[in-house]
């Protein structure tokens, strides 16, 4: 049984989430509720939960402010949020669990099941550290990303990613130290996640870090040569996007 608290400032949203959890997530026991960063911190200290359902935007602070004030995180977090570009990027970088408002029951059940599976792994503390550290970092290439693996996850600094390659529903990451990782997420996911961090999709199968392009060879679409020696074709339809990124 997972002991949980709900931290949500809107009474109606709190009631809806409580009812859904009670009806569809029988492995969860709701120990308490809170409506702000301050009362959320008090509830965490009082109930020592296994799981916190945490609204991202609240009065006088947000979910990240709350987590930053927790001295030692012993609980897993499921973020509850209306779609927000900044918040979603931060959450996805840390590979944390989330559900979007209005709440989809299937997504709620899926998030809870994933938490239950990893209850003893202690991964949550490291994911939260990545999340909070990234929010503080101004140089985006110094941010870190959590790459989920079959047997856990790897934390990688964005600047250490040279390029990514699609492999069916997987993405292969090629890193600065010459190593590579096969990640169970699509290239489209990482294209959206990294597009603001000097990465550009040059081909339907390739995403490259602009910092490591050594040379561009002209052609219908052309070709980029990465600093690790890899030659990557550029699609004619994506050539202008690449050249515009360089001009900027």
pLDDT digits (tens, 9 = 90+) for 14-30: 999 999 999 999 999 99
Total number of domains constituting the chain: 2
* Residue 30 CA: distances (Å) to CA of 22, 27, 72, 80, 101: 8, 10, 21, 16, 20
Q: Domain range spanning residue 146?
A: 139-247
pLDDT above 70 for 121? no
Residue range 32-55: mean pLDDT, rounded:
96
- Kindly report, residue by residue over 125-160, the tens digit of the pLDDT: 788 889 999 988 888 889 999 999 888 899 999 999
Phi, psi of 208 (to 5 degrees): -125, 150
- Kindly report, residue by residue over 47-102, the tens digit of the pLDDT: 999 999 999 998 888 999 999 999 888 899 999 998 777 788 899 999 899 999 99
Residue range 106-120: mean pLDDT, rounded:
88
Mean pLDDT (the chain, rounded): 93
d(CA 245, CA 248): 5
Q: Which residue has the higher pLDDT, 119 or 191?
A: 191
Phi, psi of 223 (to 5 degrees): -155, 140
Let me know whether 99 and 143 are in one domain. Answer: no
As a three-state string, the secondary structure of the chain is CEEEEEECCCHHHHHHHHHHHHHHCCCEEEEEEECCHHHHHHHHHHHCCCEEEEECEECCEEHHHHHHHCCCCCCEEEEEECCCHHHHHHHHHCCCEEEECCCCHHHHHHHHHHHHHCCCCCHHHHHHHHHHHHHHCCCHHHCEEEEEECCEEEEEEHHHEEEEEEECCEEEEEECCCCEEEECCCHHHHHHHHCCCCEEEEECCEEEEHHHEEEEECCCCCEEEECCCCEEECCHHHHHHHHHHHHC
Q: Quick one: pLDDT at residue 223?
A: 96
Let me know whether 179 and 127 are in one domain. Answer: no
Q: Quick one: pLDDT at residue 120?
A: 64
Let me know whether 115 and 166 are in one domain. Answer: no
Identify the weakest region by mean pLDDT among 85-94, 202-211, 213-222, 235-244.
Answer: 85-94
pLDDT above 80 for 123? no
d(CA 167, CA 179): 16
Let me know whether 123 and 195 are in one domain. Answer: no
d(CA 44, CA 33): 10
Answer whether 0.75 is exceeded by the pTM: yes
Picking from 56, 91, 97, 85, the residue whose alpha carbon sits closest to that of residue 196 is 85
Evaluate whether 83 touches 100 at the Cβ level (below 8 Å): yes
CATH number of the CATH domain containing 42: 3.40.50.2300
Boundary-marking domain end, from 74, 101, 135? 135
Residue range 203-219: mean pLDDT, rounded:
96
CATH number of the CATH domain containing 198: 2.40.50.1020
Let me know whether 60 and 162 are in one domain. Answer: no
Q: Quick one: pLDDT at residue 235?
A: 97
The residue whose two tokens read 């590579």 is 180
Let me know whether 82 and 29 are in one domain. Answer: yes
Q: Which residue has the higher pLDDT, 103 or 84?
A: 103
Let me know whether 23 and 101 are in one domain. Answer: yes
Let me know whether 103 and 179 are in one domain. Answer: no
């Amino acid at each position: 049984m997972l002991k949980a608290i709900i931290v949500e400032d809107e009474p109606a949203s709190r009631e809806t989430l409580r009812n859904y959890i009670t009806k569809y997530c029988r492995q969860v026991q709701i120990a308490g509720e809170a409506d702000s960063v301050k009362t959320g911190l008090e509830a965490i200290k009082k109930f020592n939960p296994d799981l916190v359902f945490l609204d991202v935007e609240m009065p006088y602070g947000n979910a990240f402010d709350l987590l930053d004030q927790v001295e030692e995180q012993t609980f897993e977090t499921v973020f509850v949020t209306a779609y927000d570009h900044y918040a979603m990027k931060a959450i996805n970088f840390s590979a944390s669990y989330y559900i979007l408002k209005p709440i989809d029951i299937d997504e709620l059940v899926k998030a809870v099941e994933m938490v239950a599976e990893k209850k003893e792994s202690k991964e949550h503390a490291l994911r939260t550290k990545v999340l909070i550290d990234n929010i503080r970092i101004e140089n985006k290439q110094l941010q870190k990303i959590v790459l989920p693996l079959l047997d856990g996850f790897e934390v990688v600094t964005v600047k250490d990613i040279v390029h990514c390659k699609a492999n069916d529903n997987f993405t292969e990451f090629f890193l600065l130290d010459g190593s590579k990782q096969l990640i169970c997420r699509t290239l489209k996911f990482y294209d959206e996640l990294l597009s603001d961090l000097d990465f550009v999709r040059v081909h339907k199968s390739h995403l490259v870090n602009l910092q490591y392009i050594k040379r561009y060879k002209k052609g219908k679409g052309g070709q980029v040569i990465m600093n690790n020696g890899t030659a990557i074709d550029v699609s004619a339809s994506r050539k202008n996007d690449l050249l515009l990124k360089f001009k900027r």
